[in-house]
Structure formats: structure tokens, C-alpha cells
Chains A and B, each alone.
Chain A
């Protein structure tokens, strides 16, 4: 099954809609709570990153009986040094974003931690793509 969602840069109110929706679907599919949590946390952080750092993004969620594949593609400034960005605590979040309680620099690390397969590619000046694949069975 294919689900698509949109995220707009700066819109923190709606960032989280996709992960909520995917959570509802996985619950209906009888996926173990712990596995659902991993997917939800990873997707939520990816959504927030688009809202915090990019202009707009598209989320594609492909759900099969044994796995979920997520692709978050944004147009935005992209990431110059991905290795650096992955480091826990590293953040370029603006003061405004921090004041809203985001920008702890843990997002990418948490995405990686909560996904079975994690891929990130970025073209500076164009945008970033994050891919997450998680198994839905133990």
C-alpha cells in the first residue's frame, strides 16, 4: 500500500501528521508496538527536519506485510557534510527553531537508530533525501 504526505518548511504544527497516520495504519495491521514505535520515531524526526531545515518535502510510505519503506525527499539547502550532520548534538537549527523546542541535534542519529536500513543523500543547494526501511516482523 502506498501513502503520500507533504511537509512544508516552517510548518511545525503539521509536521508529525505523516507519522501519526502511519502509526494508525500499523496498529490496524497488528504490528508489534515496539516496531511501530521505531517507525514512528524515525519518520517523525524526518518530518521535523523538513519543517526545520528545508522548504518543502514529499513523503512516500510503502507498506507491505513484512516491511515498511519510507522516502522523504525535500527541496532545500541540502547538507554539506553529512558525517557531521549525523553526529549527536550537531545542529544548525535557527534560534527560532530552538525556541520551539526543536534542534537538539539528535534527529538524524535517532532516525538511524530506529531504522533497519537508513540512507541519506543530499545535494547542497537542491535538497535531501532520507530513506528508511524497517521490517514489520520480529
Chain B
């Protein structure tokens, strides 16, 4: 996290490619935190609002939104090259491809060690248990598994940051644990590169600018979509030698942890799982209004079908879930003998998250009276705006245009309906109207040629 003029700059993994962006409104309308505007014919992201959920990425019709990733060749900077693999990676492959072939292809690509993240869920579980025992706030406890949700809560539901369980997600704990294990076996610490294969942008952002921890132990992030294609190619060309997983102690509980109800079904009391970021938003709105909740544990995931629906998952999410369920059936429910410590032992110092700070993006002004003035103005503006949320002004809804106006980010004449009216009444000239439209839709767009 960089500090600039007292503002925290958040790392985001989603980037808009100006050369590809056609300045339509799809991403802007899909964004659950209204973090996108169209300016100069291009989509723009408000950094402080973005939670890296990837809804824009899914909505873009021309693939102009990309997920930033580390250069794959970076792994060769290290002699010990560790792939940290979530089970959804395996779940994407067609069922005739074996796990051994999948791991073999990773070795072929240059990794020296492959560890399955989900083998450490018992540590996470122990962390949850300890956190619950020590927790003095009011229910429910909310899982910190999904980084997009943690950020959503910070920016939109700041009152609920206290409910977040301060235990690192399996990916981080796995990285810490396996690195320690390798060092214990005599591998030189600075020669070890830990690379996390990610199903989503949120994970990248959370590793590059972690919330509730100083620095991530992960050295690089590998885009799962990119890797999947490479792996599939190798496997289909039969270039692979089957490779056993190095991870022992993988259980059915671990394999299913990242899927919907993967956590909630193992927690105590009344537990609920909600997936899909708009469902989560709706649910949290409700929860905020309750006097007292009798829900004990909430598993919230930004993606539909949780990580099987991650933006970087190539396979169909329902088939991925089916495949993982199939794999889970072949695994034990619990680890009977553990000689490695993978499945137990919670290391407070290393695995705890620091308190998570709220950073509300809703506030109109830090000064209450100014905020109130702005709000009154928004109300006035809403009376003249058409209320059809067409987004042609470059803001996602009429209300967000009104908010942008009071924040000096837009003007009322940007509304296409009002602009028409102003033109007819002679309040603005055609040239002025053209200039306004160019501010929003870019000067090269030929939106008025027919009438000229």
C-alpha cells in the first residue's frame, strides 16, 4: 500500500485497456459499488471504490478489461519454485484428465513443488474457533475468505468490519506453512519463490495490497486462466509424466472449502452461506437493519458458486463444482494421522489478521453540514433528472449523476434529456452540446452525423 497525500492508494488487479475499450456502459452498470464512469469515450475506475470483484470483467463485451498478472517467467528467478494451487484449478479440467497429469503439467512448466492450498483448512478452522471463543462483539461472525467481500464490507458496510473473522485465508496460511516446511527441510529461504495460482482478481489485489497484514508471503500471482491454457496444451500433447500430489492430508472438507457452503457447513450454530456479490449486498443491507442477529456465522462469497465462478476460471462453474464433489468423495473426511503438521496447529502471530479498518465510500463530505447541503442539492437534482438510469451521461444512474454533480465531477447538461431541452430553449449551442458529449463519449464518436 502506497501513501499519497494522506490517501491510501489501493492496488487493483483490474485494468481497462484504452485501445480496446469502446466506451459502452456495460461494465459501469454491472459494478456493485458504482466505481465506474465513462469519460472521453473510455471507462474509468474510481480506485477507492473498486473492490476487485470482477463483475466489470465479466460484463465487458470486447474484453477490454484485463486482470493484471505477474510475468510467468518470474518464477525462474528462484531455484525453488512453488505452485500454491487451489482445488478449483483441478476442478476445471475435463474428468478424463487425472490429478496426476494436472500436477505433472505444472512440473513440466517449471515448478519444483506443488502444494494444494486446501490442505490447510483445519488450521483456518482452528483459527475460527479461537477467534469465536475470544469474540466479544455482536453476532454474526463473517468469514474473511473472499477478499472482494472484505473490501465490500470496508467500503459499503463499514459498521460490519468488526464482525470479520481476523484469520488469514487458506491461501496465505498455506504459503506461510509450506514455506516454513521447506526452510525446515534445508531449502535456502531467499531461493524459495511462492506463487499463488489465482481464480480471481480480488486475490491478486489482496496479495499486492493486503488488508489486515503488512506484507504477503506470496512472491507472485499466476492468472489461472493463463495457466490453464498452458497446462491443457501440455496434457493434450502428452508431454507430461504423471506426478503425485506433494500435499498429504487433503480432505473432502478441504477440497470443498472454497465452494459455496464449504465453510458454513462446518461452523457452529446457525450458519448461512450467500454467494454472488449482489446477493451478498442485499443480505448485508438487511442485516444492518436488524436489532440483533441470531445468525452465528456468515460465509459470503463475491462469485456465483463461489470460487468455481471466479473470473479466471475457464471451465463452467457448475461442472467445476460437480467435478470437485466427485473428487471429494474419494478423500477422507478427516485426517487420521498427521506427521507433517499440515492439518493442525494455529500460529497466532503468523496467521492472525490485524484489525480491518472501515473506509466508507458513501460519505458525501467529512463536514456534516456540507454533506447535508450536498444531499439537499442531490434531492433537487433528482427532481429534474428523468429517473430512467440510461447511463448516457457517463454515470451509471440518475442518482449517481446527481452525486457526481455535487462532487464537481459532472454537470447537469451531461444528461442527454436535459441537454436536448437546453438546446431547444437556446440555453446552450450545438457546439457546446458537442463539446459536452465529447467529454463523455470522446471526440471521435460520430453521434451527431445524421442530424448535421
Q: How far is the CB of A119 from chain B (nearest CB, A)?
A: 20
Does B388 make an interface contact (CB < 8 A)? no
Q: How far is the CB of B405 from chain A (nearest CB, A)?
A: 15
A20→B289 contact, CB < 8 A = yes
Q: A1-B379, A36-B159 are in contact. Are A29 and B372 (CB under 8 A)?
A: yes
Of the candidates B159, B364, B366, the one whose C-beta lies within 8 Å of that of A37 is: B159
Alpha-carbon separation in the docked complex, A44 to B376 (Å): 23
Does A91 make an interface contact (CB < 8 A)? no
B159→A30 contact, CB < 8 A = no
B288→A40 contact, CB < 8 A = yes
* CB-based nearest B residue for A36: B159
**How many residue pairs between the two chains, A and B, have CB atoms under 8 Å in the bound complex?**
57
Q: A1-B375, A1-B379, A36-B159 are in contact. Are A29 and B289 (CB under 8 A)?
A: no
Does A65 make an interface contact (CB < 8 A)? yes
A136→B368 contact, CB < 8 A = yes
* CB-based nearest B residue for A38: B291
Q: How far is the CB of A71 from chain B (nearest CB, A)?
A: 19
Does A11 make an interface contact (CB < 8 A)? no
B285→A30 contact, CB < 8 A = no
B372→A65 contact, CB < 8 A = yes
Residues of B within 8 A of A64 (CB): 372
Within 8 A of A (CB), among B41-88: none
Of the candidates B158, B288, B290, B375, the one whose C-beta lies within 8 Å of that of A29 is: B375
* CB-based nearest A residue for B371: A29
* CB-based nearest A residue for B403: A28
Does A16 make an interface contact (CB < 8 A)? yes
A65→B288 contact, CB < 8 A = no
A65→B368 contact, CB < 8 A = yes
Determine chain A's interface SS by DSSP, over half rule.
helix
Residues of B within 8 A of A114 (CB): 291
Residues of B within 8 A of A36 (CB): 159
Alpha-carbon separation in the docked complex, A12 to B277 (Å): 26
* CB-based nearest B residue for A63: B372
Of the candidates B158, B289, B371, the one whose C-beta lies within 8 Å of that of A16 is: B289
Does B268 make an interface contact (CB < 8 A)? no
Q: A1-B379, A33-B159, A37-B159 are in contact. Are A28 and B371 (CB under 8 A)?
A: yes
Residues of A within 8 A of B368 (CB): 29-31, 65-66, 136
Q: How far is the CB of A35 from chain B (nearest CB, A)?
A: 10
Q: How far is the CB of B378 from chain A (nearest CB, A)?
A: 9
Q: How far is the CB of B92 from chain A (nearest CB, A)?
A: 39
Does B267 make an interface contact (CB < 8 A)? no
A28→B364 contact, CB < 8 A = yes
30 A-B residue pairs with CB within 8 Å:
A1-B372, A1-B375, A1-B376, A19-B289, A23-B289, A27-B360, A28-B364, A28-B371, A29-B363, A29-B372, A30-B360, A30-B363, A30-B364, A30-B365, A30-B366, A30-B368, A31-B368, A37-B288, A40-B288, A41-B289, A41-B290, A41-B291, A45-B291, A63-B372, A64-B372, A65-B369, A65-B372, A66-B368, A114-B291, A136-B368
Please list the residues of chain B having a beta carbon within 8 angstroms of any beta carbon in chain A.
Answer: 158-159, 285, 288-291, 358, 360, 362-366, 368-369, 371-372, 375-376, 379
8 A-B pairs with the lowest CB-CB distances in the bound complex, closest first = A33-B159, A65-B368, A30-B363, A27-B362, A65-B369, A41-B291, A28-B364, A29-B371
